[in-house]
Amino acid sequence: MPTKIDWCDTVWNPVWGCLHNCPFCYARRFAGRFYRTVARKNNLSLEETEKLRLFQPVFLPANYSRKFGKREKIIFVNSMSDPTFWKQEWIEKVFERIVREKDRFFLFLTKSPSAYRKFPAPLPSNVWLGVSATDTVSLIERAKELFGRYDTLPTWNLFVSLEPIHEDIVTPETVPFLEKFGWVIVGPETGSLRKKLRESYLQNLKKWVSSLKDFCSRSGIPLFTKEACVSYGVKLHQEFPLWR
């Protein structure tokens, strides 16, 4: 399906719903608007429809089975969920499809990298695992959790999404972790929350992104700045891993 997420070609959401309860979650708002349509399309029961309304995790058969277009090569699997809350049977079913789609790349993203312990090992070569973080503390915490599970994997299939970035991420404490990722994505605060930001955020964002750009350039890591950065006066730098 079409997406405004500019670092992928399409999103594929075989599951909707998340229990993190983040206060500014776009996916929860989106589900609140369209859950009835999605429930009808997927022939959900009344119980499942109510779960969808409450943004509790639900498997969506029609979403799962949809065909990918010829140009849909980079697929973000869970823009409407977090695999932390997926049932094991859902994971197994999703990977059955991924293994068949060898000419595409499937990207997962989570706030809780321990979720990846439920994934099959070894991973299919067309799977990328991502962690999201907003500051130094969350980056170190989640990177440790990720690398504790996948310490033997090559860096080409691990990425980090620093969105929304809240501070300068490149510090002596974080560099050893950042160097292990094969791709870095960065984005600013957006939506209604942006209106509440102080002028200092607008000024600092340029410095934070510039710091990341210098680090990634030195380390040979592709950096992708999201288009939302432009409204903050940040010049886009949109690099992809080699599979792009």
* Domain range annotation of the chain: 1-113, 126-244
pLDDT of amino acid 233? 84
H-state helical runs in the chain: 26-41, 46-53, 61-65, 88-100, 136-149, 175-178, 199-219
Q: Average model confidence (pLDDT) for the chain?
A: 91
The β-bridge partners of 105 are 74
pLDDT score recorded for residue 226: 93
Assess whether pLDDT exceeds 70 at residue 197: no
CA distance 140 to 231: 28
- H or E stretch including 58? strand 58-59
Secondary-structure percent of the chain, ordered helix, strand, coil, rounded to 5: 45, 15, 40
**Distance, CA of 54 to CA of 17 (rounded, Å):** 8
- Across the range 17-37, mean pLDDT stands at 91
What is the spatial distance between Cα 209 and Cα 226, in angstroms, rounded to a whole number?
11
Q: Is the pTM of this model over 0.95?
A: no
Residue 14 gets which letter from DSSP?
S
Peptide bond into 61 cis (omega under 30): no
Give dist(CA 121, CA 105) in Å, integer.
17
Q: Is the model more confident about 224 or about 232? A: 224
pLDDT at 191: 63
The answer to which of 138-147, 178-187, 227-236 has the lowest mean pLDDT is 227-236
